[in-house]
Amino acid sequence: MANNLSLRSILDANKLTGRNFPDWFRNLKIVLKQEKKSYVLDTPIPPVPATDASAEDKEAYQRHKDDGDQAACVMLASMTPELQKQHEHMNVQSMSLHLRELFDKEGRTEGYEISKELFRCKMAEGSSIRPHVLKMIGLIERLGQLGLAMDHELNTTERSIRKDKESLLLVSSSKAYTKQQKKKAQKGKKVKSQNEEALKPKGNVKKVKEKDICHHCGKLGHWRRNCKEYLATVSKKKKLIEVSDSGTKDKDK
């Protein structure tokens, strides 16, 4: 208890006047954190539990309500009388939000810039997923530190990013592996193509056509009319015919 009073003296010595809101609010969070009540600034109080609710739920509700009331009293006690009159009927969250709207121009400006950067955040083509995810998480956490509430869609996005972070990194690794395998396959095809080109005959090589087959000897590369064997056979037949004709003429004489 003595430690609590010692820290609260910081707020007593630096009461909220308006312009000193950033410093005052920082000191407030330090005090509430030491008293384990800082959660009430950002966490809404749960609904009143039903009569048949569990003892645990009823206890959690009452503890949150008591912590919120104590935090609100600490805040009111460290304000000027004028500000006390404006906020004495507010709960701790309403009071915190209203004070930010009144005095935290710097925080709103920073929050606007962070929100703008967050919604314009795009991953460059071909870059790694991990740095992009970490950057988005950092921006979202910074908004939370400024006490700026995110809408349902943005909260869902944050949870999705955190939940699927490992999956995204695995997908990134898988894509990198697939890309490497494709490069190897393309390199293999290129080598194969080069080998095939090397095996192809070079120069003016005359192609053998199906019709360039000798019907006499059955060999490729020439026709029968140019076949040496065929021409030799024809020549022999002519000589035999000439000899035969010569013998017939001699008998007739």
pLDDT, one tens digit per residue, over 87-120 is 999 999 899 888 888 887 655 566 667 777 777 7
Residue 153, burial from CB neighbour count under 10 angstroms (0-12, 13-18, 19+): exposed
The confidence band for 66, taking pLDDT boundaries of 50, 70 and 90, is very high
The confidence band for 223, taking pLDDT boundaries of 50, 70 and 90, is confident
Q: Between 63 and 172, where is the model more confident?
A: 63
3-state DSSP assignment of residue 128? coil
List b or e across 37-68, with b for residues whose CB sees 16 or more CB atoms inside 10 angstroms.
bbebbeeeeeeebeeeeeeeeeeebeebeebb
Q: Does the pLDDT of residue 75 top 70, yes or no?
A: yes
Distance (Å, whole) CA 132 – CA 236: 94
3-state DSSP assignment of residue 204? coil
Q: What angle do CA 171, 134, 116 make, to 5 degrees?
A: 115
pTM: 0.44
How many C-beta neighbours within 10 Å does residue 179 have?
11
118: CB partners within 8 A, 6+ apart: 136, 139, 140, 143
Are the C-beta atoms of residues 66 and 37 closer than 8 Å to each other?
no
Q: What is the mean pLDDT of residues 208-228?
A: 70
The confidence band for 219, taking pLDDT boundaries of 50, 70 and 90, is confident
Q: Does the pLDDT of residue 67 top 60, yes or no?
A: yes
pLDDT attached to residue 153: 42
pLDDT attached to residue 64: 95
The confidence band for 208, taking pLDDT boundaries of 50, 70 and 90, is very low
> What mean pLDDT is reported for the chain?
75
Closest CA to 39 of 66, 13, 5, 76: 66
Q: Does the pLDDT of residue 209 top 60, yes or no?
A: no
Instruction: Specify which residues 79 forms β-bridges with.
Output: 16
The confidence band for 150, taking pLDDT boundaries of 50, 70 and 90, is low
